[in-house]
Amino acid sequence: MPNTKHLSAGGKQSAGQRFKSSYGGRKVLCGRTVDFSFTTGDKFNLEQWFDVLGWKNYFTINAPYYIESVKEFYSNLSNVGDDCNDVLALKTKVNRVVIKFDDKILGQILKVPATGSKFFETKKWPEDPELVLEDCLRVFYPNENVFGGMAKPTNLLGVEHRLLHHITATHILPTSGGHEKMSYQDLYIMLHVVTGKPLNLPHLIMKNMLRATSKVEGALPYGMVITKILSHFGIMFGNEVASRLDVGDIYNASSLKRMGWKRVFDSEKGVQWLPRKVEEKEKELKVKVMRMLKSKDKLKERSKPLHHRCSKVKQVAPARHLRPWILWRII
């Protein structure tokens, strides 16, 4: 990461710097992968849903990503398409190489189709007579009294829909916010996934890239996707150190456990995932806090001067009468 101490103000690029100063402190989101052997083994429909849309390859991307190059990609990114005709094309420059791509090229790179709906809006529902908002909400909230302006909390979703929303908010349209509520865009994407209606994934990714550049702060998504784009255009990364997926970036059984679900086996129904009770969560949290406090106390004790750590010994006998090996054993 460049030294920001002598950078010019206003987000401008100084000599020898790869990206604008405003991008220096922004986090890069690498993306996620889905362990389909887990999801299929536990009777989830995710693999089947993504197969129907032609998206499965997108959820198996596991490539190194280069943080400096990703920031340079976003720093120089612009839309050179025709908004009037709903044609989106992106242009940027990385390592002095100018590249340009549209949804069809990105679809070829990611091996996903560039067809279907291009709706991209987080704050309002599309004006489509075939998509009545209340009917769409009932797909995900079958046991709730749904209405148009409801908050759409994710803690009321079933386990598979909860997992699908998490994947949507971290890999399809990643944002740096929380996952406690669904946006209209999340709902729209999830509806297309579970019903198999075509959705232009490359177009949505490109729109989300542009949205990231329009913000002063916030994370920069698609680290691994951008690596594949740059590699497709023959851009070399030189001596830049690669970053890789962490274990926690793979959706598997551990992911659901972290999200508050527990795996149980029923002799009739087989494997089931049930929400953990509040008491169980509080108990786990209490254990974690106690461990942290104990660890903190140990560090505090070790940081004390030697004569403080020997205070208990002094109460029994003057320290000068203690033999060195006894003092060593006590410490």
- Residues 290-313 pLDDT 10s: 888 877 776 766 666 665 555 555
What average pLDDT does range 26-54 have in this prediction? 96
The span from the CA of 113 to the CA of 12, in Å, is: 37
Residue 137 confidence (pLDDT) above 60: yes
What is the pTM (predicted TM-score) of this model?
0.78
By percentage, how much of the chain surpasses pLDDT 70? 82
Which residues, 6+ apart, have CB-to-CB distance to 268 below 8 Å?
none
pLDDT value of residue 94: 96
Backbone angles phi, psi at 291, to 5 degrees: -65, -40
pLDDT value of residue 16: 46
Q: Are residues 159 and 34 in the same domain?
A: yes
Q: Are residues 130 and 177 in the same domain?
A: yes
CA 83, 88, 92 angle in degrees (round to 5)? 115
Where is pLDDT greater, at 307 or 7?
307
Q: Are residues 195 and 289 in the same domain?
A: no
Q: How confident is the model at residue 125 (pLDDT cuts 50, 70, 90)?
A: very high
Among 196, 198, 222, 197, which Cα is nearest to 210's?
222
Where is pLDDT greater, at 278 or 199?
199
Q: Are residues 154 and 103 in the same domain?
A: yes
Among 258, 247, 274, which Cα is nearest to 166's?
258
pLDDT value of residue 31: 94
Q: Are residues 81 and 219 in the same domain?
A: yes
178 vs 2, 169, 198, CA distance in Å?
29, 9, 27
By percentage, how much of the chain surpasses pLDDT 90? 63
Choose the final residue of a domain: 275, 291, 313: 275
Residue 303, token pair as written in the block? 């940081």
Q: Are residues 62 and 184 in the same domain?
A: yes
Where is pLDDT greater, at 139 or 268?
139
pLDDT value of residue 331: 47
Among 213, 211, 209, which Cα is nearest to 221's?
209
Q: Which of 135-139, 177-181, 318-322 has the lowest mean pLDDT?
A: 318-322
Among 114, 60, 43, 76, which Cα is nearest to 228's?
60
- Cβ–Cβ under 8 Å, residues 173 and 187: no
Distance of CA 90 to the CA centre of its chain: 23
Choose the final residue of a domain: 259, 275, 291: 275
Where is pLDDT greater, at 331 or 233?
233
Q: Are residues 245 and 218 in the same domain?
A: yes
Q: How many structural domains compose the chain? A: 2
The span from the CA of 33 to the CA of 12, in Å, is: 35
Mean pLDDT of the chain: 86
Distance of CA 324 to the CA centre of its chain: 55
- Do β-strands 270-275 and 97-102 pair in parallel, antiparallel, or remain unpaired? unpaired
Which residues, 6+ apart, have CB-to-CB distance to 220 below 8 Å?
23, 26, 27, 28, 29, 70, 71, 74, 212
pLDDT value of residue 330: 47
Among 272, 230, 271, 224, which Cα is nearest to 249's?
224
Q: How confident is the model at residue 42 (pLDDT cuts 50, 70, 90)?
A: very high
DSSP state of 65: B
Q: Are residues 246 and 321 in the same domain?
A: no
The span from the CA of 297 to the CA of 291, in Å, is: 10
Where is pLDDT greater, at 318 or 151?
151
Q: Are residues 112 and 208 in the same domain?
A: yes
Residue 281 confidence (pLDDT) above 60: no
Q: Are residues 34 and 140 in the same domain?
A: yes
Nearest-10 crossing angle of helices 46-53, 159-167: 50
Q: Are residues 203 and 267 in the same domain?
A: yes
The span from the CA of 147 to the CA of 134, in Å, is: 6
In one-letter notation, the amino acid at residue 152 is K
Q: Which domain holds residue 312?
A: 278-330
Q: Are residues 135 and 176 in the same domain?
A: yes
Q: What is the dihedral of CA 29, 34, 38, 43, to 10 degrees?
A: 120
Residue 167 confidence (pLDDT) above 80: yes
pLDDT value of residue 260: 92
- Cβ–Cβ under 8 Å, residues 46 and 72: no
Q: How confident is the model at residue 56 (pLDDT cuts 50, 70, 90)?
A: very high
What average pLDDT does range 85-95 have in this prediction? 93
What average pLDDT does range 126-143 have in this prediction? 93
